[in-house]
Amino acid sequence: MKRTWLTFLAAAAVATSLLGAAVAQEAAPVVEEEVPREDVPLDTVAPAAPGALTARDYLDSNDAGDKIELDWELSPDDGAGSCDVAGYFLWRSRSASSPGEIVAELPSGQTHYVDRNLEPGAEYFYSITAFDGTNESAAVTCAPVAGRVNLFQTSRASILALMLVFFGLVLVFTKLAERGDELFVRRIPGLNAIEEAVGRATEMGRPVLYVPGIGEIDNIMTIASLTILSHVAKITARYETPLIVPTARAVVMSAAEEVVKQAYTEVGQPDAYNPDNIRYLSDAQFAFAGAVNGIMLREKPAANLYMGAFWAESLLLAETGFEAGAIQVAGTAMVSQLPFFVTACDFTLMGEELYAASAYLSREPKLLGGLKGSDWMKVVTIALVVLGAVLNFMGFETFVNWFRTQ
């Protein structure tokens, strides 16, 4: 099943690159028509017509073919001659026989315009006139032109290629993990810190406090946190140390109940499970923080573990825990809260370490696959960055420019 997918993705990669290369040829500019210049003397008459008009497909092989780029030469009376050009009218038509409608009024001195939102691939006839406020010059026309309809955004080829490489890595590693291969993930130091903290709480005969953040149940940090909670619950169950889990979301509370109950059952201590210790406190951020702080002061846990999605309440929790003298271990991918955890806790799992810890503990194939895939993609990234920087320094820009997406 997965192999079919990989083949499909690889084939898609090859096909799209070929297609992209084929479509990416630039449209040739349309040859302009010479229009005889009429020298017109004074202000009762129209200004001289502008010079040659060129129309071509907008030089971007990535658009839908709905843009035409137009260039013209200034009328001899624009900024010189009788100096009376107020601007230009650009006309557009679907047939050669009529001038069609004015699509733009352009100020004097301008020689360039991109006409947009056209029907992709349709043929258009353009003409331009100069006007002085009352009189309009003769029209200058050019050959019909059509936008080129593109099938692939060539500037996004590098994105597609790197995406497919990465997806391939993720799927291969997921497959390997499903097959039961040993995929090495280094042990995250934070896990040792968690175990030490729980150990110390046991020695002191005081409870362990585990806060799974205030994220909803669909937040991936909350999900990672529940995996770690299961690990912690197994240790506390073995040591028969009370485990208090305050939650800010009703759904997270029921999930935490399940997780802890199952962990206690797995290590053969189902009777030690105390449902009263899994608590729903409040949905409101500060009310929740206040209530957790209350638990810290009253029940004096010796180890405080904060794992999951935290916002501004991180500070309140870590401060009170520090004051109470508990060992504190935190883990979150909320970057703006990490500084507070780092300075107020004994150990902090930062960013991806939280997910890595949960993959390490659960050995779930989809998590491991993602983790290993990301890992090797990082190696690819570093190699590309170093190579690109060196080549760029030496002046070889072709390679680097392939990664330019706009």
Partner 1 sequence: MRREIPLAITFLVGLFMLVDFFVPHHSVSAAAEEMKQWGTIVIAASILLGVGNLIRVHYRKIRRKQDGWGYSITTLVAMSVMLYFGGPWGTIAEGSAFNWMFLNMQVPLQSTMFSLLAFFIASAAYRAFRLRSAEAGLLLVAAIIVMLGRVPLGQLLTRGLPEKATLPWLTETIMTYPNMAAFRGILMGAALGVMAMGLRIILGIERSYLGGEK
Partner 2 sequence: MSEGFDLRRIDRRIIFVLVLVAVVWPLIAPLRLPMDVSPPVQNLYNTIEEIPAGSIVMLAGDYSPDTMPELQPMTDTFLRHAFRNDLRVVVACLWPASPPLVERALLPLADEFGKVDGVDYVNLGYMAGGTVTLLGMGASIPNTFPSDYSGTPVREIPLMQEVQNFDDIAFVMEISAGTPGTREWVQQVQSRFRVALGSGTTAVGAPNFYPYVQSGQLVGLLGGLKGAAEYETLLEYPGLATKGMDAQSVVHALIVVFIILGNVAYFAARRKGRA
Partner 3 sequence: MNWLHMLFNGPPGTPASVVWGFWVAAILTISIYSFLYKDNPLYKFAESLFVGLGAAYWLALLYHETLVPKLLHPLFPGGSGDPVQWIRIIPGVLAVFMLLRFFPKLSWLSRWALGFIVGMYSAVNITGFAQADFVAQIYATMTTPLNSGGALAIILNVVAIVGVCATLIYFFFSKEHKGVLGGFARLGIWFLMIAFGASFGYTVMGRVSLLIGRMQFMLRDWLHIIE
325 binds, among partner 2, partner 1, partner 3, none (CB under 5 to 8 A by kind): partner 2
Residue from 58, 152, 340, 347 touching partner 3 (CB under 8 A): that is 340
Name the 3-class secondary structure at 277: helix
Contacting partner 3 within 379-398 (CB under 8 A): 379, 381-382, 384-386, 388-389, 391-393
Residues 6 or more apart from 61 whose CB is under 8 A from it? 23, 24, 25, 26, 148, 150, 154
Site for partner 3 in 241-300 (CB under 8 A): 284, 286-287, 290
Q: Quote the DSSP letter at residue 283.
A: S
Residues 6+ apart with CB under 8 A from 300: 206, 207, 324, 326
109 lies in the binding site for partner 1 (CB under 8 A): no
Which residues are paired to 125 by β-bridges? 93
Amino acid at 108: S
Listed in sequence order, the DSSP H helices in 345-364 are 352-362
Shortest CB 332 distance to partner 1, Å:
13
Q: Which of residues 168-227 bind partner 3 (CB under 8 A)?
A: 184-186, 188
Q: How far is the CB of 298 from partner 1 (least distance, A)?
A: 17
Among partner 1, partner 3, partner 2, none, the one that 116 touches (CB under a kind-dependent 5 to 8 A) is: partner 2
26 binds partner 1 (CB under 8 A): no
- Tokens 């939280």 sit on residue: 354
8 Å CB contact between 68 and 124: yes
What H or E segment, with its residue span, contains residue 13?
Answer: helix 2-23
Is 404 a binding residue for partner 2 by CB under 8 A? The answer is no
C-alpha pair distances (Å), 194 with each of 64, 131, 367: 55, 80, 21
Binds partner 2 (CB under 8 A): choice among 36, 180, 325, 395: 325
Chain residues in the site for partner 1 (CB under 8 A): 5, 16, 62-66, 120, 149-153, 156, 160, 163, 166-167, 170-171, 174, 218, 220, 223, 250, 283, 286, 312, 315-316, 318-319, 322-323, 333, 335, 339-340, 342-344, 346, 351-352, 355, 366, 369-370, 373-374, 377-378, 381
